[in-house]
Amino acid sequence: MAHNNPWPDEGNTGHIWDEDLRELDNPPPLWWMLSFYAGFIMIVFYTLYYPTIPLPNSYTKGVAGWTAIEEYHEDYNILKDWREKKFSGQEEQLAALSVEEILQNDELKTYAVKTSKVLFGDYCAACHGSGGQGNPNFPVLADDDWLWGGKVSQIKTTITNGRQGNMPARGMMGNLSDEEISQVTDYVIALSEGRADDAAVAAGKGVFAKGMCVACHGPAGKPLAPAGAANLTDGIWRFSGDRDEIIKTITNGVNVKKNGETTANTRVAIMPSFKDRLPNADVNIKRLAVYVHSLGGGQ
Amino acid sequence: MSKDQKSNSSTGPVKSMLDDLDTSNKNLQHIGVEYLNVHTEGTVHAKRMPGTFRTLKWWAASVWLFFFVGPYIQWDNRQAIWFDLEGRQFHIFGITVLPQDVWVLAMILLFYALLLAATTAIAGRMWCGYGCFQTVWMDVFTWIEEKVEGLPNKRVKLDKEPISFKKFRIKLPKWIAWGLIGFLTGFTFVAYFDPAIDLWARLFTFDWTSTESTIILSLAAATVFFAGFLREQTCIGFCPYARIQGAMIDTESVVPTYDYDRGEPRGRLKRAVEGDATSELGDCIDCNLCVAVCPTGVDIRKGQQFGCITCGLCIDACDSIMEKIKKPKGLIRYASLAEFAGKPFVPFYKRPRVITYTSIMAFALAAIIYGISTMSPIDVKVLHERAPLFVAMSDGSIQNKYVVKIVNKSDKQLDAEIKVRGPEGLVFIVDEVIHVEPGNVGTATLLVRIPKKILTKQNTTVKIDVQDIHNPAVKETYSSMFIGPRIR
């Protein structure tokens, strides 16, 4: 190439295309070269300062021992300290006041509700749904039908100690026949639809008395006090409102045990105690009680 | 591929299509590209002389004094014009604009963008010549330069001198003055975001935040750099407006123009002798004063060009000469190309371009007026709870849960009352009064119950009214949806 370079003196590299297109060898501008050298020096310092070179089983640690995760932890702790400091007043109040008092205090109530979302998601939502909407065979928390009472103190007790209701299979005495169960099922459905006095379900009404259902569910299908028995007069079902499912519930009962073993087809309905499960349980249970109370059905 | 080319390639090496052309004379000028008329001999030191347009320019420039005064005007115990970024609200006298209403700002921008286009279509770069901060600051800076260093020829000479203590001493006052103006500019800009008086106070206690210091000092540096050093190069090389103005003016735009027919052939004025040939010369005596006064260093006699910011100073200069040589004024004057072509003058309000621009401006203006007049002091948003969408209650009704967010855009405390309208039998439960501090958002949980048997559709519209109990005129209605079970 260079041997027939028609422009020998202009400082081209000798690379010539299309007869006259050639690459010149001009130096880059000074500022460009200076930043290049500065960048190169930076790389040296960078390499020394930060973890850089991978080794077979390790890597160079850098002179300052910096790591990204450590920096993250430091920043996180700053945030944590800031939060603890900023909300220490509210946290102290949550610890000092009773749930009823917290509910009375608008600001504190809002604080409790807002700080409960994650807690509820972690500990409650698996069964009760992310918004308290319930799941099949797990109670809805957003409605006003409470098995164990919808006052905030009752909710707190429920969370603290857990709950476990019992319903014997085949009536209190365990002596209802399939025929009778079918009749009482019709009656219970009629109860929920407000047709309890229909002649068609008179037989079931008799069974309701005979099976001593009244003992827990109340004479009119409505428990006298919230003690785990379902209110049968409303349209809300603890398990399912389908006829077959109601028959299943009556036939097998709820949490029925024989010789210490849970029977095969019985409904299992256990709310565990959270006083040992939650971190900082004293405050967090209050917080959650207020939250559940605010979901839409608190009394 | 044609037969010719095929045979051509088979007989020898492929020929370039340029091979048969003589390209030795193909430099830029020969192929018809004109070099742009840009002043390249160092800083333009323009001569300053009085005249109509000079006066007009000062008046136009003095409008910028409001920029410096603006932050000190008070209103309701706060700065009248205050773009409070931290509080996310913009105060403009009595009006408080929250980010929700920022579309109004977009309309204001649209209005001014079109105003720029319309004025350019009518009379060229009026903004550049009289209004632009670059022009105005540069004008003030060169005025200071003249006071400190003397007339243009003296300054040119001084610039050529080698660096010396004497040169430094002469230039120092200018730099101090420029620096002060630059600092004030940066300071005032920031003062629209952080209240001015507080900013002054914190200057003397060295209590500026790093953001404030950085912005103020870099704006100060940029002001001195652009208005003091870069000067007309900003208008020529930096500002995109120089390039797009060609698309914005047309032959009917009135811009400073040299009357070629009257002026040419130009030549030195000789004492008139009867019957002499001087009468063949045009009115231009080639005194070059129009070039000497031009702040961007262009020669207007070459016609409208991208370096011209249409400031009219050449008109002042030429008129003063015409007066001296007892010729009619207006050898350089605001005129359109159509006028020189002898076309009838079309009033600007009949030109389609201007009509289009002004109708868009009218739209933007209407939108601004609508936006400001209907700007409610409260803003209501209602979020429907999604999990669960609805809950069956023990009394046979369906319950929906909403979160009502009330933004208080006024500067007084808001005590809001929430009411819900919907089908007969609707019951709602909500806090009696929601207190919202000025500029804050209040949140309320709203429960709405409708008996199941009343619901005829899965979705029922409900209206949520929010009203200030102290001032019933402050009211917003939000239309939301009540969701029930599927109706079979």
Across the interface, do A143 and B394 touch by the CB < 8 Å criterion?
A: yes
Closest residue of chain B to A142, computed from CA coordinates: B391
Question: Which among A142, A231, A294 has the least Cβ separation from residue B394?
Answer: A231
Distance from CA of B481 to the nearest CA of A (A): 17
Of the candidates A171, A169, A119, A157, the residue with the CA atom closest to the CA atom of residue A288: A119
Closest residue of chain A to B389, computed from CA coordinates: A133
Question: Which among A110, A131, A144 has the least Cβ separation from residue B393?
Answer: A144
Question: Which among B16, B387, B401 has the least Cβ separation from residue A129?
Answer: B387
- Asked if residue A273 lies in contact with residue A261, where contact means CB atoms within 8 angstroms, the answer is no
Q: Please name the helix (run of DSSP H) or strand (run of DSSP E) that holds residue B453, with its range, or none.
A: none
Q: How many beta-carbon pairs below 8 A join chains A and B?
A: 55
Distance from CA of B443 to the nearest CA of A (A): 9
Of B390 and B270, the structure prediction assigns the larger pLDDT to B390
pLDDT band at B270 (very low <50, low <70, confident <90, very high): low
Is the peptide bond preceding residue B388 cis, with omega within 30 degrees of 0? Answer: yes
Residue A31 structure tokens:
């500022």
B21, B394, B455, best to mutate vs chain A, most A CBs in 10 Å: B394
- Distance between alpha carbon A297 and the CA centroid of its chain, in Å? 19
Check pLDDT > 60 for residue B188.
yes
pLDDT at site B159: 86
pLDDT at site B14: 55
Distance from CA of B400 to the nearest CA of A (A): 8
pLDDT at site B4: 43
Answer yes or no: CATH 1.10.760.10 is held by domain A88-164+273-293.
yes
- Residue A189 CB coordination number (10 Å): 18
Closest residue of chain A to B433, computed from CA coordinates: A106
Calpha distance B125→B305 (Å, rounded): 11
DSSP 8-state secondary structure symbol assigned to residue B278: G
pLDDT band at B272 (very low <50, low <70, confident <90, very high): low
Q: What confidence tens digit (pLDDT) does each residue in A116-143 have?
A: 999 999 999 999 998 888 888 899 998 8
Check pLDDT > 70 for residue B234.
yes
Question: Which among B388, B392, B399 has the least Cβ separation from residue A131?
Answer: B388
Q: Is B38 on the interface with A (CB under 8 A)?
A: no
Q: What confidence tens digit (pLDDT) does each residue in B75-114 have?
A: 888 899 999 888 778 888 877 787 777 788 899 999 999 9
* Backbone torsions φ then ψ of B219, nearest 5 degrees: -65, -40
> Over chain B, what is the mean pLDDT?
85
Calpha distance B241→B247 (Å, rounded): 10
Q: Is B207 on the interface with A (CB under 8 A)?
A: no
pLDDT at site B36: 53
Q: Which residue has the tokens 């030549």?
A: B267
Across the interface, do B387 and A131 touch by the CB < 8 Å criterion?
A: yes
Closest residue of chain B to A297, computed from CA coordinates: B393
Across the interface, do A297 and B385 touch by the CB < 8 Å criterion?
A: no
Going from N- to C-terminal start, the domains of chain A cover 2-49, 88-164+273-293, 178-268
pLDDT at site B68: 93
CATH of domain A178-268: 1.10.760
Calpha distance B132→B239 (Å, rounded): 11
CATH of domain B378-483: 2.60.40.10
Closest residue of chain A to B397, computed from CA coordinates: A235
Calpha distance A250→A169 (Å, rounded): 6
Closest residue of chain A to B19, computed from CA coordinates: A19
B29-42 core/surface letters (b: 16 or more CB in 10 A; e: else)? eeeeeeeebebeee
Going from N- to C-terminal start, the domains of chain B cover 52-245, 251-350, 378-483
Check pLDDT > 80 for residue A215.
yes
- Alpha helices, H only, B346-456: 352-373
Mean local confidence (pLDDT), A246-266: 88
pLDDT at site A55: 92
Mean local confidence (pLDDT), B295-324: 88
Question: Which among B16, B391, B396 has the least Cβ separation from residue A142?
Answer: B391
Q: Which residue has the tokens 């243009």?
A: B152
Check pLDDT > 80 for residue A219.
yes
- Distance between alpha carbon A278 and the CA centroid of its chain, in Å? 13
- With beta carbons under 8 A apart, name residues in chain A contacting B17: none
pLDDT at site B25: 58
Question: Which among B387, B393, B447 has the least Cβ separation from residue A133?
Answer: B387
Of B15 and B265, the structure prediction assigns the larger pLDDT to B265
Query: Could you say which residues from 445 to 464 on chain B have a Cβ atom under 8 Å away from some Cβ of chain A?
Result: 445, 447, 452
- Distance between alpha carbon B269 and the CA centroid of its chain, in Å? 45
Calpha distance A211→A196 (Å, rounded): 17
Q: For the ranges A246-250, B95-99, B143-147, which has the lowest average pLDDT?
A: B95-99
The alpha carbons of chain B give a radius of gyration, in whole angstroms, of 34
Check pLDDT > 50 for residue B2.
no
Check pLDDT > 50 for residue B7.
no
pLDDT at site A1: 43
- With beta carbons under 8 A apart, name residues in chain A contacting B385: 131, 296
- With beta carbons under 8 A apart, name residues in chain A contacting B394: 143-145, 231, 234-236
Highest mean pLDDT among A13-17, A258-262, B94-98, B109-113: B109-113
Whole-number percent of chain B with pLDDT over 90: 40
- β-pair partners for B442: B406
Check pLDDT > 80 for residue A39.
yes
Question: Which among A19, A130, A235 has the least Cβ separation from residue B392?
Answer: A235
Q: What confidence tens digit (pLDDT) does each residue in B411-434 have?
A: 788 899 999 999 988 999 888 888
pLDDT at site B175: 94
Q: What confidence tens digit (pLDDT) does each residue in B40-63 have?
A: 667 888 999 999 999 999 999 999
- β-pair partners for B398: B392, B450
Check pLDDT > 90 for residue A36.
yes
> Over chain A, what is the mean pLDDT?
89
Calpha distance B148→B174 (Å, rounded): 6
Closest residue of chain B to A147, computed from CA coordinates: B394
Calpha distance B162→B168 (Å, rounded): 10
* Helix B103-123 / helix B352-373 crossing angle, nearest 10 deg: 160
Across the interface, do A145 and B393 touch by the CB < 8 Å criterion?
A: yes
Calpha distance B484→B451 (Å, rounded): 10
DSSP 8-state secondary structure symbol assigned to residue B162: P
DSSP 8-state secondary structure symbol assigned to residue B302: G
pLDDT at site B277: 54
- With beta carbons under 8 A apart, name residues in chain B contacting A299: none
Burial class (CB in 10 A: 0-12, 13-18, 19+), A239: middle
Of the candidates A231, A109, A217, A132, the residue with the CA atom closest to the CA atom of residue A171: A217
Across the interface, do A145 and B394 touch by the CB < 8 Å criterion?
A: yes
Q: Is B52 on the interface with A (CB under 8 A)?
A: no
Distance from CA of A285 to the nearest CA of B (A): 22
Calpha distance B215→B190 (Å, rounded): 7
Cβ-proximal residues to B118 (8 Å cutoff; 6+ apart), any chain: B354, B357, B358, B361
Question: Which among B385, B445, B447 has the least Cβ separation from residue A131?
Answer: B385
Cβ-proximal residues to B390 (8 Å cutoff; 6+ apart), any chain: B398, B399, B400, B483, B484, B485
Across the interface, do A143 and B386 touch by the CB < 8 Å criterion?
A: no
Across the interface, do A296 and B391 touch by the CB < 8 Å criterion?
A: yes
Whole-number percent of chain A with pLDDT over 70: 99
B17, B391, B415, best to mutate vs chain A, most A CBs in 10 Å: B391
Distance from CA of B330 to the nearest CA of A (A): 49
Closest residue of chain A to B443, computed from CA coordinates: A110
Calpha distance B349→B322 (Å, rounded): 32
- With beta carbons under 8 A apart, name residues in chain B contacting A195: none
Calpha distance A284→A279 (Å, rounded): 7
DSSP 8-state secondary structure symbol assigned to residue B266: P
Distance from CA of B14 to the nearest CA of A (A): 11
pLDDT at site B271: 58
